[in-house]
Amino acid sequence: MNTQKTNLLYQRIRRILESARTSVSRSVNTTQVVANWLVGREIVEEEQQGRIRAEYGKQIIEELAERLQAEFGNGYAALNLWFFRRFYVQYPELVVPQKVYAPRQKLEGHRLPQIGHAPCDQLSDAASIPSTAILYAPRKESWRPGWLHPNLSWTHYRTLLKADESNKRAFYEIEAIQNNWSSRELERQINSLLYERLALSRDKKGLMRLAVKGHEVQKPTDVFKDPVVVEFLGLPESPKLVETKLEQALINNLQSFLLELGKGFAFIARQERLTLDGDHFYIDLVFYHTILKCYVIIDLKTGKLTHQDLGQLQLYVNYYDRERRTKGDNPTLGLILCADKNDAVVRYTLGVDQQKTIFASRYKLHLPSVAELQAELRREVRALAVPIEKNRQDAKGEEK
């Protein structure tokens, strides 16, 4: 590799990092994200000049890593440089330069101006932008996935790179911002295939809305996931697990449980007693959904779901609709969280109207592998296809 070209590339990257270190931007995290993106861009552009030969790119990164680590520390090891490179490739429009820095051939002997991050309200005021600064900032237009957002740190973006499709990555960007997810929570949601679980019952238009607007709750079927992943409970898989222990673990980890349930859930009660002509019944968990404006009753079953379990939940839902529902409330929803279920039993126990308000989901006490979750989702797709096909056949019969 040409030593002079390597030196020029090294100096360009070195100045980016020095500028990032001394920046007085609004957010240290945002400055670091921009710096990493710029480093990735320099590497990609250098590779393109070298006609993207694999051995050429590998040599570039190994040489850079050795020299950058000596001056800037272990954060610039070869593995991280590969991430920076991938970051630029996956987010080519992340930032927009407000002032283009000097051409490469003029860098020698010139000081690279400081990298800044302009607040959105300053972007329309050209006079407020220092003439000596290169501002990589949000655009004047409304934010959209793929653009820089100050609430996402480098750890967030590095985690987002795990999403293998652009629509999926956009969905997680939106959800992380709207729900103020930490990078750890973002990683958990990606690993639990949240996007795939929500996408299960959506058509193509619904999938596009996920990528543009995130998870919107507009109707009961938007609320519940199957399976529900509750690995944060720390409970072992065991046939001896009882409902009371599962319920207590959910209450002890209520914040994590609410994150898994999704948007709009507010906790109301546990083990609420209903007395009907002297007979006592106890509802495991009661929530109110602030978006759908309705009560949500959750019943826990550690064994396989039976039609008796569904009948009991119907009782609870009917009671709430008649005795607790007030003006402005929508019909009560019911969910059974169970270790296993037979979809045919659910289908034939519940009528068409009841299936709009009563649902059954499996719970997972450990975070399944991607392969296990994908198999679970394929099974759900097959289960959904049965009633759809039956309805089509019934419709054809009526036409005849």
pLDDT > 70: percent of the chain: 76
Radius of gyration of the chain (CA): 27
Please say whether the beta carbons of 309 and 335 come within 8 A: no
Q: For residue 174, what pLDDT is reported?
A: 93
Tokens for 74?
């272990």
Q: For residue 287, what pLDDT is reported?
A: 95
Q: What mean pLDDT is predicted for residues 78-105?
A: 77
Record: fold of 217-368: Trna Endonuclease; Chain: A, domain 1 (3.40.1350)
pLDDT > 90: percent of the chain: 33
* Residue 155 three-state SS: helix
**Full DSSP string of 60-117:** HHHHHHHHHHHHH-GGGSHHHHHHHHHHHHH-TTS-EESSPPPPGGG-TTSPPPEEE-
pLDDT in tens, 84-96: 999 999 999 998 7
Helix axes 166-178, 183-191, angle to 10 degrees: 140
Q: What is the mean pLDDT of the chain?
A: 79
**Residue ranges covered by each domain of the chain:** 3-149, 162-212, 217-368, 372-400
Q: For residue 138, what pLDDT is reported?
A: 52
pLDDT in tens, 151-191: 899 999 999 999 888 889 999 999 999 988 999 999 999 98
- CA distances 153 to 181, 194, 221, 267, 273, Å, are 11, 21, 33, 31, 46
Q: For residue 36, what pLDDT is reported?
A: 93
